[in-house]
Amino acid sequence: MKILFCGDLVGRSGRDVVLQNLPGLRTELGLDFVVVNAENAAHGFGLTGKICDELFEAGADAITTGNHVWDQREIVSYIDSNPRVLRPLNYTQGTPGAGASVIQARDGRKVLVVNVMCRLFMELLDDPFVAVDRVLQSHLVGAAVDAVLIDVHGEATSEKAALGHICDGRASLVVGTHTHVPTADTQVLPGGTAFQSDAGMCGDYDSVIGMKKDIAVARFRSKLVSERLSPATGPATLCGVYVETDDKTGLALRAAPLVLGGRLRPAWPDFLPPRAAAST
């Protein structure tokens, strides 16, 4: 399978860069499955049903979230009725929605998508290691499902890396979100699981992790600043991870970062033919 994971969408700029590029990327890369983290898509805080519908129409197959999932209250009923939109798996029992879902790709293959949240410097949710382990035990990659994709939403690289290693050989991809900065550790772990500590964000990088820099800087310098953070609105960069898996085992054959547009240096998988033209 050919899989693309897009990092945290931040505000309108982040939405636009994904909505504009995703239809073309599905064709150009022959993508079989696309996951987008959209927890910051609605003006930087949460997401709405309308945004989810737009992302699905553009080519997303699943949407993951994180600690801002409930910031827009209208999402509660939407997420409870749409298994393609996930909230963190390790919320307490009875929380609306699901943290793991088997989703059918366009060609009929089954993909388990898992969304889990870390605990270091985050909310004290249930144990993410136990939660992930329980799901993987009942969804064997290459047997029960054709691929397993895990979004690890967390602050600490160490915790995300540890989760990656306990999933090695049991997942196609483990990728971090939340810090909004793409890391340079894209790899296929020894057991065959693709891993990157953080996919980065889809948003304006002339900012403080996607938010307008003047407001963010002022808030660091003075606790008297009352203006609410809001997303930067300049040209956005699309940051993600591209993975190819073995059709028999569901494990990763190769993985690479994908970076398009905006301010960051572009990155295109070096094992693919060069792009004929740059995307906007």
Check residue 277 and give its pLDDT.
52
CATH of the domain spanning 2-260: 3.60.21.10
Structure confidence by residue, pLDDT tens digits, 47-85 = 999 999 999 999 999 999 999 999 999 999 999 999 999
Distance CA 273, CA 65 (A): 32
pLDDT in tens, 204-231: 999 999 999 999 999 899 878 778 899 9
- Mean pLDDT taken over the chain: 96
Helix axes 49-58, 11-29, angle to 10 degrees: 30
In the chain, % of residues over pLDDT 70: 98
Q: Tell me the catalytic residues.
A: 68
In this prediction the pTM is 0.96
Domain ranges within the chain, ordered by starting residue: 2-260
pLDDT mean over 171-192: 98
Answer yes or no: is pLDDT of 278 > 80.
Answer: no
Output b/e per residue, 27-54; b: 16+ Cβ within 10 A.
eebebbbbbbbbbbbbbbbbbbbebbeb
> Which pLDDT belongs to residue 279?
44
Mean pLDDT within 188-200: 98
Between 178 and 226, the more confident residue is 178
E-assigned strand segments in 223-270: 238-245, 252-260
> How large is the average pLDDT for residues 110-133?
97
Statement: residue 116 has pLDDT above 90:
yes
> pLDDT tens digits, residue range 75-95?
999 999 999 999 999 999 999
The whole-angstrom separation of Cα 148 and Cα 161 is: 17
**pLDDT for residue 226:** 73
Q: Cβ contacts of residue 223 below 8 Å, gap of 6+?
A: none
Decide: helix, strand or coil at residue 216.
helix
In the beta sheet, which residues pair with residue 244?
Answer: 2, 254
Average pLDDT for residues 22-37, to the nearest whole number?
Answer: 98
Task: Give the separation between CA 270 and CA 177, rounded to whole angstroms.
Answer: 23
Question: For residue 275, what pLDDT is reported?
Answer: 84
Over 50: is that where the pLDDT of 280 sits? Answer: no
pLDDT tens for each residue of 228-253: 899 999 999 999 999 999 999 999 99
